[in-house]
Structure 1
Amino acid sequence: MKMIKLGPDGPQVSQFGIGAMSFAGIYGNASENDSHAVLDACRATEVSHIDTSNVYGNGRSEEIIGSWFAANRGARNEMVLATKAGITGEAERRFKNDADYLEACLDESLKRLGVDHVDLFYIHRFDRAHSIEDVAGTLKRLIDAGKTRSVGLSEVAPTTLRRAFTECPIAAVQSEYSLSTRAPELGLTQACAEMGTTLVAFSPVGRAFLTDAPFTYEHGQSMAFTKSNPRFMQPNYDANIEATDRFRALAADMGEPAAALAIAWLIAKGDHVLPIPGTKNLDHLSELVRGTQIELSGEDLARIEQALPVGWAHGDRYTAAQWEGPERYC
C-alpha cells in the first residue's frame, strides 16, 4: 500500500482510506459484524485511514469504530483516525462552528470512539456566522489541547482554505471528487497542492455509478439521499447508466473492476489526493483496494477521459437543499 504524508506536517497515511458513513446504514442496513469485517480487511491490507463523523447515524458509525478498537488491541496505533463536526441536524441552525460547540462535539466523539484524541478533526460544514480565520483559531486551540493532532475543512472553496491557513495549518480538505464530479479541478486540487494540504476525495466511485454493479433506480428511491438527488432521478438516472456503461466496458477491456479503475484514476491525480470510498461489503472493498495497485499510463488515462469526458454526468450532484453549506467557487 502506497503511503503519503497527510498535510504539510504528516503523519504518514495510506493513499486510500475507508469512509465509514456506510457503517451507519446510510446506504442500506449494515451490521456491526459486517463493519468490523471491513475494518479487519482494511487492517490486513495496510489501509491505515478511517474517516467518520458525529452525524453518521447520530454517532453510530463512531460507536462501531470504537467497539472495533476495543476488540482489536493495537489497532488504534496503526490507524490515522478522522472525524468531523459542525452539522447540527437542527432546522433553524443547520451548521454551527461556535468554539464551545465544536469542542463539546469532539469530546462526545472521543467517548464514542474510545480514544483520547483523533488524528484529524474536520469542520464538516463552514458556518458563515463566523470568519474562517476565527474557526481556524478554534481548531488550533483543539490541537493545543491535545484532542486532535491535525485539522481539516470540508466542502470549502480554495480561497477559504488559503484564509484558514493564515491562522492554522490545514492538513486536509474533504470534497466530493471523482470521474463524475470534477469541480475540484477548477482551483481546489491546485490550492491543496500549493499549501501541502491533502485533498480527501469522498464518493470516489460516484455513489456506485462508477462500479460494475450500480444500484437500480428502485433501490436508489429507497434511500434518503439518492431518492431526491438529481443524478438519481429520471430521466437522469437512465442517462447516467448509459454513459457509465462505456466506462464499465473499458474497465472490462483492461481486465479490471470498474471501481478499481475509478480509484486508480484519482490516485493518478497526485500524491496529495486520497480517496475514501465507503462499503460494508468485503468483495467491494477488494475491488476498491485493487485500484491502489494499478499504474495507469498516459494512454490509459486518455482512454478513461474519452469514455467519460469532463461534463458527462446528467443532473447536478446536489439538490438545492443539499447545496446549503458546501461552498461553490466556480
Structure 2
Amino acid sequence: MSIQRNIASLRVSPIGLGCMNLSHAYGTPPDARQAEAVLLGALDAGVDFFDTAALYGFGANETLVGKVLGPHRQRFTLASKCGMQGVDGVRVIDGRPATLKATCEASLQRLNTDVIDLYYLHRWDKNVPIEDSVGALAGLVQEGKIRHIGLSEVSAATLRRAHAVHPIAALQTEYSLWTRNPEIAVLQACRDLGTAFVAFSPLGRGFLTGTLRDVGTLAAKDIRRAMPRFEPANYAANLPLLKPLQALADKAGCTPAQLALAWLLAQGEHIIAIPGTTQLHHLQEDLHAAHIQIDADILRRAGEAINQHTVTAPRYAAATQTEIDTEEF
C-alpha cells in the first residue's frame, strides 16, 4: 500500500483528520485545551491533511483550526467546505455563486490563511445548477483563494457534470464497511476522472470501533440520535456484527477500528480516510492502520461480515436523504 496518496497535485497521508467533532455534532464538544491538544498531537503524529467546514460549529471549527494550526500552515494540506452553513443559528444549504464567494472570504479569515488547498461544495443546492456553483469555485481558483475544488455527497452523474466545468480534485462522502453506497458508481467515476475519494465516517460514526454498546448513552444533541441505524432496536440488531469483526481483528493482531480502516484503504489507491476523534490515543490508534499489514483473506472476510446486506436500516432519515445526491441501494 502506498504511504502517500494524491489529491490532484497534492500528496497526503492516507489517513487525515476530520475536525468536525472538535466543535460540532456529537454532543458537547471538548474544551479548547483538549481540542488544541488533538490538533497539535495530530500534526506531531504526521497528519498532513485536516478537514473542516464553514458549517461546523457555525464557524467555530474553522476558527479553532486557524488559531491552532495557522502558525504551522506550511506543514499540512487544508480542506474546508462551503454551500452549507449556519445563518442566524439555522443550518442553510445555499449554492448560489455570490454566497459561495462570500463564505470563502469569511473562511479565509477564520482559518488564518491566504489560500485553502481543497475547497468542497458541502452540499449541492438543487435549486442551483451544479455548473453554476462549480463555476463560482473555478473563479476562486483563478483568484488564487483556493487551489482545488471538491464535492461532497453527490452522485457519479453530478460529479461528471461538475468535472466538465472544472476538474474536481476530490469527492467526499461516507464510506465504510457498513456504508457501501459509493461502490454503486462513485468510486469508479472517481477512478475514471482521476478524482480522489475522501471517506468521512470511515468508522461508522463509532460503531466499527466496538466501543459504543448502548446508544442510550449518547448526548441529547448528538446527531446520531436522528439516524435510523442508531435507533435502539436497529442498533441492537447491528451489534452482533461486531463479534466477527472483533474475531478477525484478533486474528490480524489489531483493533476493530484499525481493521475497518485498513479494509477501506485497500479498496483503492485513490481513497483517503478522515476519521474524527476528540481523543489523542484514538487518533494514534487510527493512524497506525495505514502501516499495518493485514492478510487479504481477513480483509475479504471483514467485508463479507459487514456490508449493505448485513446492516439493518439506512444511514440517513428520509428528510436528510432529500438533501443529498448520492446513489442509494
State the TM-score, normalizing by the size of structure 2: 0.94
Q: C-alpha offsets along residues 90-123 of structure 1, whole Å, 9 cap, x if unaligned? A: 6999321111110111111111111111101110
- Aligned twin of 1:84: 81
- Aligned twin of 2:67: 67
Q: C-alpha offsets along residues 286-323 of structure 1, whole Å, 9 cap, x if unaligned? A: 11111111233321222212332442211110011221
Alignment of 1:139 onto 2:137: yes
Shift of residue 258 of structure 1? 0.9
Alpha-carbon distance change, 223 to 258 in structure 1, aligned in 2, over 3 angstroms: farther
Shift of residue 245 of structure 1? 2.6
Matched residue pairs, number? 325
Alignment of 1:50 onto 2:47: no
- Aligned twin of 1:170: 168
- Aligned twin of 1:24: 23
Alpha-carbon distance change, 212 to 328 in structure 1, aligned in 2, over 3 angstroms: closer
Q: What is the SS of the residue equivalent to 2:232?
A: coil
Q: Distance in 2 between matches of 1:187 and 1:304?
A: 21
Q: Does the CA-based 8 Å contact 1:210-1:248 persist in structure 2? A: no
Alignment of 1:273 onto 2:271: yes
Q: Distance in 2 between matches of 1:200 and 1:324?
A: 22
Alpha-carbon distance change, 46 to 92 in structure 1, aligned in 2, over 3 angstroms: closer
Q: Distance in 1 between matches of 2:221 and 2:241?
A: 23
One-letter amino acid of the structure 2 residue matched with residue 203 of structure 1 = S
Correspondences of 1:244-323 after superposition (within 5 Å): 244-323=242-321
Q: What is the SS of the residue equivalent to 1:150?
A: strand
Identify the structure with the greater strand proportion: 2
Q: Does the CA-based 8 Å contact 1:220-1:232 persist in structure 2? A: no
One-letter amino acid of the structure 2 residue matched with residue 303 of structure 1 = R
Q: Distance in 1 between matches of 2:120 and 2:196?
A: 13
Q: What is the SS of the residue equivalent to 1:293?
A: coil
Q: Does the CA-based 8 Å contact 2:213-2:239 persist in structure 1? A: no
Q: Distance in 1 between matches of 2:293 and 2:131?
A: 40
Q: Distance in 2 between matches of 1:19 and 1:215?
A: 23
Correspondences of 1:33-44 after superposition (within 5 Å): 33-44=33-44
Query: Which segments of 5 or more consecutive residues in structure 2 lack a partner in the other structure?
Result: none
Q: Distance in 2 between matches of 1:69 and 1:221?
A: 28
- Aligned twin of 2:95: 97
Identity of aligned residues (%): 37
Q: Distance in 2 between matches of 1:206 and 1:134?
A: 33
State the TM-score, normalizing by the size of structure 1: 0.93
Identify the structure with the greater helix proportion: 2
Instruction: Please say which of residues 212-221 and 288-297 is displaced more in the overlay.
Output: 212-221
Q: 1:220 aligns with which of 202, 218, 221?
A: 218
Q: Distance in 1 between matches of 2:297 and 2:91?
A: 49
Q: Distance in 2 between matches of 1:310 and 1:2?
A: 29
One-letter amino acid of the structure 1 residue matched with residue 48 of structure 2 = S
Q: Distance in 1 between matches of 2:82 and 2:24?
A: 19
Q: Does the CA-based 8 Å contact 1:250-1:307 persist in structure 2? A: no
Instruction: Please say which of residues 155-164 and 91-100 is displaced more in the overlay.
Output: 91-100
Q: C-alpha offsets along residues 265-293 of structure 1, whole Å, 9 cap, x if unaligned? A: 11111111011000010111111111111
Q: What is the SS of the residue equivalent to 1:125?
A: coil
Shift of residue 183 of structure 1? 0.7
Q: What is the SS of the residue equivalent to 1:121?
A: strand
Q: Does the CA-based 8 Å contact 1:209-1:240 persist in structure 2? A: no
Query: Which segments of 5 or more consecutive residues in structure 1 lack a partner in the other structure?
Result: none
Q: What is the SS of the residue equivalent to 1:321?
A: helix
Correspondences of 1:189-208 after superposition (within 5 Å): 189-208=187-206
Q: What is the SS of the residue equivalent to 1:173?
A: strand
Instruction: Please say which of residues 153-162 and 126-135 is displaced more in the overlay.
Output: 126-135
Shift of residue 215 of structure 1? 5.3
One-letter amino acid of the structure 1 residue matched with residue 76 of structure 2 = M
Alpha-carbon distance change, 113 to 323 in structure 1, aligned in 2, over 3 angstroms: same
Q: Does the CA-based 8 Å contact 1:50-1:80 persist in structure 2? A: yes
Alpha-carbon distance change, 93 to 307 in structure 1, aligned in 2, over 3 angstroms: closer
Q: C-alpha offsets along residues 45-67 of structure 1, whole Å, 9 cap, x if unaligned? A: 22100000111011111111111
Q: Distance in 2 between matches of 1:35 and 1:297?
A: 35
